Amino acid sequence: MRYLDEYRDPDLARTLLAELRRVTTRPWALMEVCGGQTHTLVRQGIDELLPGGIRMIHGPGCPVCVTPLEVLDRAMAIAQRPGVILTSFGDMLRVPGSHTDLLALRARGADVRVVYSPMDAVTLAKAYPDRQVVFLAVGFETTAPANAMAVRHAATLGLTNFSVLVSHVLVPPAMTAVLRAPTCQVQGFLAAGHVCAVMGWTEYEPIAAEFRVPIVVTGFEPLDLLEGILMAVRQLESGEHRVQNQYARAVRRDGNTAAQDAVRSVFRITDRAWRGIGAIPDSGLTLTDEYAAFDAGRRFDVGRIVVREHPECVAGDILTGDKVPTDCRAYGTACTPRTPLGAPMVSAEGTCAAYYSAGRRRPPDPEGQP
């Protein structure tokens, strides 16, 4: 398959692994930021093929996983209002809230619909002028431009029955938070190529300089990841700490400036809570005052939200790389894709889902507990 097989060539993979073994002289710990990268690493078994001493730490780059419980509970409260059509991407419907999920609410009669674009939600609002259409807008810098364009389009159409429940998060502040954590073991990053396709990589240069870590913008295919790991290890072995771009076929230094302009025209930066991690300063987006009328959080007063995380779920430790899914006692037993306790087991980019689909098993408990 052209444009795909080239990045999965087993002979080239063996060559890159041999070069990694040649240049590696000591243990290193790298974090792949994106959940899509985690899935490739785990599905292809790349993390188990790396030279001894190179360890991959799975990062917080799953948009569904980091959407705060409070936002999910608020979306469910809005969905149960009469006359509301709650829309979102399919992954969000099975993410557990404090008491239920959006799919269960739909089964009970709430009008919850899957859309493939925020523009689909605008189209619904135009088609149902007597209903309130709300789009649950989650994700990183990758989805923010499309959501910004949807809000601008709704404003141009003069729609008063369309709004967005915004929960956008930004990658660089999260990387900084990871590096500042007292337990941090990360010595280098593989940055998410699709985020950099939008934002470029200039935001990462101050991080690389301040924390003296190499950051390699990396794609999502097996050879992308192996080459990104090799580039990061070469820097570490030589004492360098700069930003490099492995994903040159898709990423430019300044990114997509038109998309950035669209985001800046609708959103402003704000503090944001991350599920399982907590609040990170300046790590999110919210609507500007000009577009505040499209803020579902303001339009629907659902009162005070009291959240309740499942006591067995360790999603926060997994999202920060402190644990892997097989460290969790509920993994593969109480928590499976059919019975998820947390978002990482639900999302297509979740680390727990990646481990489960790859058949990774939890090691036997030394005390004989199941």
State pLDDT tens for residues 96-118.
Answer: 899 999 999 999 999 999 999 99
For residue 5, is pLDDT > 90? no
For residue 369, is pLDDT > 60? no
User: What token pair was written down for 148?
Assistant: 């910004």
pLDDT of residue 6: 85
70-101 pLDDT per residue, tens: 999 999 999 999 999 999 999 899 898 999 99
Residue bearing the bigger pLDDT, 317 or 197: 197
pLDDT band for 275, please (50, 70, 90 cuts).
Answer: confident
pLDDT of residue 136: 97
The 3-class SS string of 199-257 reads HCCHHHHHHHHHHCCCEEEECCCHHHHHHHHHHHHHHHHHCCCCEEECCCCCCCCCCCH
Is residue 280 within 8 Å of 174, Cβ to Cβ? yes
Got the DSSP string for 2-67? Answer: TTTGGGS-HHHHHHHHHHHHHH--S-EEEEEEEHHHHHHHHHTTHHHHSPTTEEEEEEEE-TTTTS
pLDDT band for 125, please (50, 70, 90 cuts).
Answer: very high
Average pLDDT over residues 119-137: 98
User: What token pair was written down for 326?
Assistant: 């097989």
For residue 1, is pLDDT > 80? no
Average pLDDT over residues 46-73: 92
Average pLDDT over residues 243-263: 97
Indicate the DSSP class of residue 140.
S
pLDDT of residue 210: 98
pLDDT of residue 366: 60
Strand 215-218 to 188-192 pairing: parallel
Average pLDDT over residues 231-240: 98
For residue 277, is pLDDT > 80? yes
Residue bearing the bigger pLDDT, 362 or 159: 159
| Domains, the chain, with CATH or none | 64-168+255-300 (3.40.50.11740)
Secondary structure class of 86 (helix, strand, coil): strand
Q: How far apart are the first and last CA of the chain?
A: 44
Residue bearing the bigger pLDDT, 319 or 282: 282
For residue 119, is pLDDT > 90? yes
Q: How far apart are CA 203 and CA 191, in angstroms?
A: 11
For residue 38, is pLDDT > 70? yes
For residue 260, is pLDDT > 70? yes
Q: How far apart are CA 38 and CA 56, in angstroms?
A: 9
Average pLDDT over residues 30-36: 94
117-126, 192-201, 304-313, 359-368: segment of lowest average pLDDT? 359-368
CB atoms within 10 A of CB 112: 25
Q: What percent of the chain is predicted at pLDDT more than 70?
A: 98
Is residue 7 within 8 Å of 189, Cβ to Cβ? no
pLDDT of residue 263: 98
pLDDT band for 215, please (50, 70, 90 cuts).
Answer: very high
Left (φ > 0), alpha (ψ -120 to 50) or beta: where does 278 sit?
left
Round the average pLDDT of the chain to a whole number and report it.
Answer: 94
User: What token pair was written down for 35?
Assistant: 């959940």
Q: How far apart are CA 26 and CA 178, in angstroms?
A: 23
Residue bearing the bigger pLDDT, 349 or 85: 85
pLDDT band for 316, please (50, 70, 90 cuts).
Answer: confident
Can you name the residues that pair with 243 across neighbouring β-strands? 215
